[in-house]
Amino acid sequence: MIAEWTRDLDEAGVIRLADLLALKIVRGDVIGLRGEVGAGKTTLARALIAALLDDCAAEVPSPTFSLSQVYETPRLTVTHFDFYRLASAEEAREVGFDEALENGAAIVEWPERAAELLPGSRYEIELAETADQATRRLTVRGLGHAAIGVRRIDELMAFLDGQPRWRGARIAHLQGDASTRSYARLFGAGGTVLLMDAPVQPDGPPIRDGKSYSRIAKLAENMVRPFVAIGTVLRHAGLSAPAVEAFDLDKGMLLVEDLGDRAFAVGLAAGASQPELWRAAVDALITLRRVPLPPSLPLPDGGSYVLPRRDRAAFEIEVELLLDWHWPALKGSPAPQSLRVEFMALWAPVLDRLLALRGGWFLRDYHSPNLIWLPDRTGVARVGILDFQDALNEHFAFDLVSLLQDARVTVPEELETELFAYYCAEVAAREPAFDRAAFATAYADFGAQRNTRLLGLWLRLLKRDGKPHYLQNIPRTWGYLERNLRAPELGPLAAWYDRHFPVDLRSGKLPG
């Protein structure tokens, strides 16, 4: 697989290419820089390293004499090599090329001097002078897996070239979530804006009936279309969803309003009051109850989007994550088929109840990483809302569970109880037909389903995606699940969990 494109770029264009390349580089990548002396290889290498360091003023010396220079960047270790003076590939090994790929990524000037060591999947950039001394002709080539990154950088370059306000903006990587999409902040003369890079793709390979997990679980595979449609409705309701400045709905690229970095977890770390933040978020959900859910949501390109609703297969594939990933990680072997049958039989009446619930707005990821505190705004607008593209047409209790049993930040049981009662009282005052007991049952049912899914997800993120830091959430998730399983209707499930996952298996520590 090969992808290739060529552009004539001035210095600002070279820096933009470096910024975008920095968004795509991962451990094991090689970026080979080819060209004659004076073509600009070192200039591009310095811009790329500065982008990875998130420091445009960083000192990046040439490795011409040292042959290599190592940089510890926020995302990965990167080693800058200059192979010009090498006489053989063996000398490249002697200066640590193989170790550099094991530990991070490598930027290589004069890669042809050690061509036999280069991996089959790599980036190659060839630079040449042009008649205009202010520009260089760059041919960017991706081999193997890197072809995906090269094609995407080409699309992003074209998208950003069409935004005059941000043409000279610096691009800085932002830490993303557990998904495959990525984010960056653009710093321009007029302020900042966020680039959302969300190529259309499934979450993982086909796993059942030729469908990916994301398709079965009703996750958005083209996330920008629902993001734009749903965000418009939220803003019209007085809620703080990011405004969209520019978009390419088919290619999955957006420029959106930058709501800042004051996520709820950051606010807590800085001393903010958890009851104040969470109550404001509950108020936003109460407001959302009053927003009509139309049959379809309009899009600016003339299309429309319909909020999906999960079917039984979607709920089942989520709870089965516990058996698919959590069970083998703790038990050392796959879950027996007989146990799987028993487990799903216990879940059957719970799923019957969930499937029978009345629909409404369910933003799906309404929890601390996606909630931004905006104290300069008033009322419910103080809660900035992100990451709602996977919203569904499902019961209102589901978002309340996501908030009051936050997967990333512990919500004390006393605060959960207080805010649950507050929500019910406020809704009952506006909706005389509100049935608190039925709502509490839906809350417990979905809480059990959600936390069961998360227990499997944390292990999938470790085993499939190489993301171990999510393991720290396991004890918290078990704690929430235990709260849900106290509901009388969930007694048989509670007994199953106690039998197969006793307390000593709920710490998050894996065997070995």
Per-residue model confidence as pLDDT tens digits over 113-139: 999 999 999 999 999 999 998 899 999
Are 148 and 268 in the same domain?
A: no
pLDDT score of 413 more than 90: yes
Give the model's confidence band at 211: pLDDT under 50 very low, under 70 low, under 90 confident, else very high: confident
Question: pLDDT: is 214 or 155 the higher one?
Answer: 155
Are 129 and 243 in the same domain?
A: no
Q: What span, in angstroms and rounded, lies between the C-alpha atoms of 96 and 94?
A: 5
Are 107 and 230 in the same domain?
A: no
Give the model's confidence band at 220: pLDDT under 50 very low, under 70 low, under 90 confident, else very high: low
User: Residue 302: inside a domain, yes or no?
Assistant: no
Q: Where are the beta strands (DSSP E) in 110-197?
A: 122-129, 136-143, 170-174, 182-188, 191-197
User: Residue 184: inside a domain, yes or no?
Assistant: no
Are 25 and 107 in the same domain?
A: yes
Are 138 and 245 in the same domain?
A: no
CATH of the domain at 52: 3.40.50.300
pLDDT digits (tens, 9 = 90+) for 334-384: 999 999 999 999 999 999 999 999 999 999 999 999 999 999 999 999 999
Note the pLDDT of residue 182: 86
Q: Please, where are the H alpha helices in 163-311?
A: 213-216, 224-236, 264-269, 274-289
Average pLDDT over the chain reads 93
User: Residue 7: inside a domain, yes or no?
Assistant: yes
Are 155 and 249 in the same domain?
A: no
Are 278 and 325 in the same domain?
A: yes
Query: Quick one: what percent of the chain has pLDDT higher than 90?
Result: 79
Note the pLDDT of residue 177: 53
When mean pLDDT is compared across 212-226, 233-247, 311-325, the lowest value belongs to 212-226
Q: What is the mean pLDDT of residues 188-215?
A: 80
pLDDT digits (tens, 9 = 90+) for 94-110: 889 999 999 999 999 99
User: Residue 166: inside a domain, yes or no?
Assistant: no
Q: Which long-range contacts (CB under 8 A, 24 or more apart) does 7-13 make?
A: 7/137, 7/138, 7/140, 7/157, 8/130, 8/132, 8/135, 8/136, 8/137, 8/138, 9/135, 9/136, 9/138, 10/134, 10/135, 11/43, 11/134, 12/167, 12/168, 13/135
Q: Which domain holds residue 58?
A: 2-161
pLDDT digits (tens, 9 = 90+) for 435-456: 999 999 999 999 999 999 999 9
User: Residue 467: inside a domain, yes or no?
Assistant: yes
Q: What span, in angstroms and rounded, lies between the C-alpha atoms of 328 and 510?
A: 10
Give the model's confidence band at 180: pLDDT under 50 very low, under 70 low, under 90 confident, else very high: low
Are 222 and 122 in the same domain?
A: no
Are 142 and 205 in the same domain?
A: no
Note the pLDDT of residue 213: 75
CATH of the domain at 461: 3.90.1200.10
Kind plus residue range of the DSSP H or E element containing 255? strand 253-256
Q: Which of 161, 189, 222 is the last residue of a domain?
A: 161
User: Residue 437: inside a domain, yes or no?
Assistant: yes
Are 340 and 282 in the same domain?
A: yes
User: Residue 253: inside a domain, yes or no?
Assistant: yes
- In the chain the first and final C-alpha atoms are separated, in Å, by 39
Give the model's confidence band at 199: pLDDT under 50 very low, under 70 low, under 90 confident, else very high: confident
Q: What span, in angstroms and rounded, lies between the C-alpha atoms of 472 and 481?
A: 16
Q: What is the mean pLDDT of residues 133-150?
A: 95
Q: Which of 146, 161, 176 is the last residue of a domain?
A: 161
pLDDT score of 268 more than 70: yes
Q: What is the mean pLDDT of residues 190-204?
A: 85
pLDDT score of 507 more than 80: yes
Query: Exposure string (b/e) for 297-318, b if CB count within 10 Å is 16 or more?
Result: bebeeeeebebbebeeebbbbb
Give the model's confidence band at 204: pLDDT under 50 very low, under 70 low, under 90 confident, else very high: low
pLDDT score of 173 more than 80: yes
Q: What is the mean pLDDT of residues 7-13?
A: 93
Give the model's confidence band at 178: pLDDT under 50 very low, under 70 low, under 90 confident, else very high: very low
Q: What is the mean pLDDT of residues 406-419?
A: 97
Are 221 and 316 in the same domain?
A: yes
Q: What is the mean pLDDT of residues 50-77?
A: 88
Are 92 and 216 in the same domain?
A: no
Note the pLDDT of residue 176: 58
Q: What is the DSSP string of 55-110?
A: -TT------TTTSEEEEE-SS-EEEEEE-TT-SSHHHHHHTTHHHHHHHEEEEEES
User: Residue 185: inside a domain, yes or no?
Assistant: no
Number of domains in the chain: 2
Q: What is the mean pLDDT of residues 316-336?
A: 96
pLDDT score of 63 more than 90: no
